[in-house]
Amino acid sequence: MFENKEKTPLDQLGEFKLIKQLTGEFKLKHESSVIGVGDDAALLENQGLEVISTDLLVENVHFDLMYTPLRHLGYKAVVVNLSDICAMNAIPKQILVSVAMSSKYTLEAVEELYSGIYAACEKYNIDLIGGDTSTAPQGLCISVTAIGTVANKEAVIKRAGASEGDLLCVSGDLGGAYAGLQMLEREKRVFMEQPEMQPDLEGYDYIIGRQLRPEARTDVIELFEELEIRPTSMIDVSDGLASEVFHLCEASEIGMKVYEDKIPIDQLTYDTARELHMDPTLYALSGGEDYELLFTLKQADYDKVKNSMDVSVIGYCAPKSEGAVLITKSGVEHPLKAQGWDAFPS
């Protein structure tokens, strides 16, 4: 995508040439994207309702460039926003990307970041329609705004809407992203103590990929349409399963029973947790960054999903008075605890 191989200082280009350099290869794919990058503002002409979400990634808070390739970071920055669009049962169509960076970054480094953004746009068939660039006193900060469409108000799925007796379901598997993060952090510590040592991540490809290059579950939204399913509530798993369960409980004013033995955990995630002397269930409950979809269904829809290899029924909705409960593998009930990501911990 980009051909520059040297280290070009950004001040050689200036802001407008930089924007043109970074976004020149992004072509509009949707008729609804009337005007994209290059004017004072973007112009959209969508039918139906628009769903909008934004997210902020800050260096040394949300990512560590010691083990995060810039291309992967650009891809992930887009995906985490698309996941929020999917959580509303909408189809993502456009994104705006704003980047602030210090003088340590060269043109080639920023091009690498944008090559990941470009890859995500191609994978999910979305248009880059604008954004901004700025200097920063230190580090790198990325803000992405995603825009999606949904046919009508009835098609929108919110966190509120679940009722007693509804099934609690989740796509994919959980805990893998946190397991990958733990392995990356382990190798970073080894490198800091012994710089001559090379990272040893052989055999951990799946969980490393879950951390560095997650995917948004647009395919699950397509599955709902194919199976004629409308979840009663939904949220994406960005902060850990336990936190998201509490969000659904609060919004829907219900309780939930979650069965530990039903939580989908990949074998490599399980083995990695044990290798690090940790509880695999804790990885799934509190790890976060899996970007799977957690949703509730009417029991009448069970037959539609029971044979799906990518949807697991992990519990059910209970009266609000019972709260959120984890039923362990031994059948003991414990109050569920949310220990996932908090941007402003007390």
Residues 159-175: tens digit of each pLDDT: 999 999 999 999 999 99
Residues 6+ apart with CB under 8 A from 40: none
Asked if 111 and 3 count as a contact pair (C-beta separation under 8 A), the reply is: no
**Predicted confidence band at 339 (pLDDT cuts at 50, 70, 90)?**
confident
Record the tokens describing residue 4, joined without a space. 């520059």
Indicate if the pLDDT at residue 15 is higher than 80.
no
Question: Across residues 225-237, what is the average pLDDT?
Answer: 95
Q: If you average pLDDT over residues 312-338, what whole number do you get? A: 95
Separation CA 42–CA 67 (nearest Å)? 35
> Could you tell me the domains of the chain?
10-155 (3.30.1330.10), 167-335 (3.90.650.10)
Residue 245 CA, chain-centre distance (Å), reads 17
Lowest mean pLDDT of 17-26, 154-163, 182-191, 264-273, name the range: 17-26
For residue 41, the model assigns a pLDDT of 45
Is 20's pLDDT higher than 90?
A: no
Q: Does 346 score more than 60 pLDDT? A: no
pLDDT averaged over every residue in the chain: 89
Separation of alpha carbons 241 and 209, rounded Å = 19
Rounded CA separation 82/123 (Å): 12
Assess whether pLDDT exceeds 60 at residue 7. yes
Q: Are strands 127-135 and 91-101 parallel, antiparallel or unpaired?
A: parallel
Is 217 a residue whose pLDDT tops 90?
yes
Give me the pLDDT at residue 221, please: 95
